[in-house]
Amino acid sequence: METTSFTYKTGPCSDVLIIGGGLAGMYSALAAAESGAAVRILCKSKTGGSGNSVVAMSVHRFAPDAPGLREDYRRRFLASGAGQQDAEIAAFFVDHAAAAMERLRGLGLPLEYRTLSENGGEYPYLACCSPKQGRILTKAVREKLNEYPNITVEDGVTVCDILTENGRAQGVLALCGGEMRVYPAKTLILCCGGAGNVYAATSNTHDVTGDGYAMAARCGLPLRGMEFVQFYPYRIYSPKRADIFPDLFDHGAVLRNEKGERFMDCAKYPMKELENRDVVARAEFAEKEVRLDLSGCDKAYLERECPNIARMARDNPDKPLLIRPVAHFFMGGVPLRTDCSTDVAGLYACGEVTGGLHGANRLAGSALTETVVFGAIAGKNAAEYAAADADTPETAAAAGRVLSTYPELGTDPLRDLRDDLRETMQKDASVIRTKEGMEQALGEIDKIKAALCERRPASLAKWNELRNMLLTAEGVTRAALERKESLGAHCRAD
């Protein structure tokens, strides 16, 4: 690979620099701003208008603040993780989520809270928008950012690398409008989501490419549990794409195979379509075709809770609603701590980019709650770290080292390499895995890496995404190859 000496401009120094514009990033920004920090959000797409937060269902499930209900949730949460959670992190999340969700009420967001009963009292256990669309929530949180003059939002900025010196985060190197920029910062928060686009079939938006995992790895952070990738079994891919709210199966919806059989209705699956997601995904994977049958569904519930699916069914009366499991959520990542710190001083992390909370599988509805709990903690602690730090970030030497590894630009779109990687991961490292398949995947990843080194990319942003996808894909596959038993979302056929 030919390299070049890129020039760069240096932006203003921030107290807290946030990498990512989803819910975790925005909640972090609000908490840091409340603490008086000068906050800057860098988002490669659009803050509050891109990423998985926008296409999520806005559902927050959490442990109610009542002893019996809380312990019931704890049992289910720990069972879902299959013994792979960080015990301290899991306990902290269960015990603090209700209070965090109650504080969220103060923001005046369009969330409706639902309750369960215990000993005559009513305790919130779920919050969601109506209808259950993530964009309703992200739009409202984005508007909240405008109320804080100490929050600056920069969209269309691709953060390429975290700059470190002497074991401490100093800022980031980013691509903005075709030019390189260095953004110095006293503290950083890494919260740029997962990596669904490593796979050919995913529920993730196109901009979710494993950037956070790769940046963390390049600055020396370990990653844990990368073999645990959740494949969402409730995804319609034809005639249009849409996620199904799982509660729909509590109101008459069923899954059928190409023969019309309800394949989840047997002794093997006592909870039928509402088995854990990994179980449903594997059952679907074994079928030639899977269809969503709404003929017995409560029509009022369908129209109220899933209007997009109701409309899809009405508009396509002669077409089946076809379903397949798709890459959805990465349980692994940067080891999460209760204070959201990392092994790199001044670098914090929260959201899907972290690992340890969910273990081998994620309980439905916990991802957005995670952003509320740990986003606030990351923002507050990063602001406090910055306030106690009088040193000026040193970025020049680190920026020079990193830029020396970047390629000479040319005209190659790299599309073939990206497609090859995604198809390889889909075929050999997705729902069902084998030693032979994963070894083939690693061999193909090596070939793509070698090819990338020989190419002259037309776009540095596309080159950056592809190298991030390759590093993440390799991490997933190696971790999956090392774990020889099936556990949670990780299933070995051999």
Q: What are the structure tokens assigned to 184, written together?
A: 């110095």
Domain count, the chain: 3
277 is catalytic: yes
Q: What are the structure tokens assigned to 470, written together?
A: 């390759």
Residues 442 and 302 in one domain: no
Name 329's Cβ contacts closer than 8 Å, sequence gap at least 6. Answer: 194, 196, 229, 230, 232, 352, 362, 367
Tell me how far apart the alpha carbons of residues 21 and 28 are, in angstroms, rounded to a whole number.
10
- Select which of 61, 181, 224, 277 is catalytic: 277
Residues 463 and 367 in one domain: no
> pLDDT averaged over the chain?
96
Looking at residue 200, what is its pLDDT?
Answer: 96
Last residue of a domain, one of 400, 426, 455: 400
Looking at residue 4, what is its pLDDT?
Answer: 58
Last residue of a domain, one of 340, 367, 400: 400
> Are the CB atoms for 61 and 364 separated by under 8 Å?
yes
Residues 303 and 347 in one domain: no
Question: Quick check: helix, strand or coil at residue 244?
Answer: coil
Residues 351 and 432 in one domain: no
Nearest residue to 58 (alpha-carbon basis) of 3, 8, 104: 104
> Are the CB atoms for 60 and 463 separated by under 8 Å?
no
Cα dihedral across residues 330, 331, 333, 334: positive or negative = positive
Residues 41 and 90 in one domain: yes
Residues 344 and 432 in one domain: no
For residue 2, tell me if it sits in a domain.
Answer: no
Q: What are the structure tokens assigned to 290, written together?
A: 């899977």
For residue 18, tell me if it sits in a domain.
Answer: yes
Last residue of a domain, one of 324, 351, 384: 324
Q: CATH code at 425?
A: 1.20.58.100
Name 457's Cβ contacts closer than 8 Å, sequence gap at least 6. Answer: 407, 409, 410, 412, 413, 414, 463
Residues 224 and 128 in one domain: yes
The model's pLDDT over 454-468, given as tens digits with 9 standing for 90+, comes to 999 999 999 999 999
**Lookup result for tokens 């509805």:** 365
Residues 220 and 336 in one domain: yes
Give residue 230's pLDDT band: very low, low, confident or very high (50, 70, 90).
Answer: very high
The model's pLDDT over 35-46, given as tens digits with 9 standing for 90+, comes to 999 999 999 999
Residue range(s) defining the domain that contains residue 379: 8-228+329-400
Residues 353 and 464 in one domain: no
Which ranges of 56-86 does DSSP label H, i.e. alpha helix? 67-81
Q: Which residues of 281-306 are buried (b: 16+ CB within 10 A; e: fewer)?
A: bbbbbebeebbbebeebeeebbeebb
Chain centroid, CA 294 distance in Å = 30
Tell me how far apart the alpha carbons of residues 452 and 312 are, in angstroms, rounded to a whole number.
41
Please state whether the predicted TM-score (pTM) of the whole model is above 0.75.
Answer: yes
DSSP state, residue 453 = H
Looking at residue 5, what is its pLDDT?
Answer: 59
Name 409's Cβ contacts closer than 8 Å, sequence gap at least 6. Answer: 4, 456, 457, 458, 459, 460
DSSP state, residue 409 = P
DSSP state, residue 92 = H
Residue 3 pLDDT exceeds 70: no
Lowest mean pLDDT among 24-33, 197-206, 264-273: 264-273
Residues 290 and 377 in one domain: no
Residues 212 and 337 in one domain: yes
Give residue 374's pLDDT band: very low, low, confident or very high (50, 70, 90).
Answer: very high
For residue 109, tell me if it sits in a domain.
Answer: yes
